[in-house]
Each structure stands twice: as C-alpha cells, then as structure tokens.
Amino acid sequence: MKIFIPYLLLASIAISSHAAKKITITGNDTMQFDTKEFTVKAGEEVELELKNIGKLPKLAMGHNLVILKKGISALKFGQKIMGMGASATNALPEASMEDVVAATKLLGPAESDVITFTAPKEPGDYQYLCSFPGHFAMMRGVMVVK
C-alpha cells in the first residue's frame, strides 16, 4: 500500500496539470467586456465562457468573442468584416475565419457559450473583439500568451 500512494499522487498531479484554464467574460448593453486582458500559457488548453448579461434583444445588442491571430488588429478586423457584409444575423462571415484563433457563437440576453481551444504556441498579444456590427470599436481586449 505504501508503494501505491506515491503513484496515486503522481497520477493526480498529472491529471490536474492538464486541466483547462477557465476564463469567464461578460458582455453588456453598454458594449463592454468586463475583462480587457487575460493571460494563458503557450499551448495551454483554455476553456472560455462568454456570458451576455445585457437585456436588449440579440438583433440589437448581440455579443460574441472572437480571438484573433497574432498581429491582427481588432479594429482593422472589424472594418474588414463590415466590408464582407457582417450583420446582426451573420456577425462573423466564414471568409474571415482565416484570421481567427477561436470564437464563441453570437449571444442574446442571458445566454452564454463555452468554447475550448488550445492557446497558440507562440507567445505574444492576441487581440479579441465582439464582431457584432459596430461593437468592435468598444468591445476589445487582449489575450496574452506567455
């Protein structure tokens, strides 16, 4: 039994070291994320939950969270998708996905979405935004990969 305990301890450490980093971010009717920056480790499994805590209808004030590849500006990306025809019913055109690391679905009031993704292996700053038309001007943040 004494020999078994160290193996059990090592197994529990191994399991806990692979648990995803959990992050919760909210979006509201004043077009703000409550979290403007969060940090993850390179290659780490990330579980991100977005909650729309607003009250306005989805077609007027829907929110999503789109993490962009390194070097992609949230403002330029927002302008790009507007040019692609982004709308309240298609806030993230398929053709824009080449610039995206991960994205939640578009949420209405009191809705939430959980996505799981692997953080990029390259350290640096990865901007994120809400891609609902016009929201990218105010709803932005940075995922720092260390």
Q: Give the start-to-end residue ranges of the domains of the chain.
A: 20-145
What tens digit of pLDDT does each residue of 52-102 get? 999 999 999 999 999 999 999 999 999 999 999 999 999 999 999 999 999
DSSP H or E stretch at residue 63: none
| Whether 52 contacts 26, CB under 8 Å | yes
Residue 4 predicted with pLDDT over 80: no
- What fold characterizes domain 20-145? Immunoglobulin-like (2.60.40)
Note the pTM of the prediction, 2 decimals. 0.87
